[in-house]
Amino acid sequence: MRSLQSGHSMERRKHPRTELNEPAYVSVGGSVMACTVCNISADGAAIEVDNPAFVPSRFRLVMASDRSVRDCEVVWIQHNRIGVTFRD
């Protein structure tokens, strides 16, 4: 586990993030898109997708490893990386 906190900026997260490189899926209305979970915390995650334009503001994130499902809401997008908060 690697800390992502910087000594120069204020960390706004309540929970520490864990660095990952795990396959997962964005699932919405029967449609599924592959993604990679870059980091995760108790409150949210950062994922990478091929084309963020196809990711809706709310979706389900399904982890490939254990098929766990989290309801998500997009909070930011930077290039192909999307930050989400967990709604459940």
pLDDT (tens digit per residue) in 24-59: 999 999 999 999 999 999 999 999 999 999 999 999
User: Residue 6 above 80 pLDDT?
Assistant: no
Structure tokens at 25: 């899926």
User: Residue 2 above 60 pLDDT?
Assistant: no
In angstroms, the Cα distances linking 29 to 20, 61, 76 are: 26, 12, 22
Q: Which residues make Cβ contacts (< 8 Å) with residue 27, sequence separation at least 6?
A: 33, 59, 60, 61, 62, 69
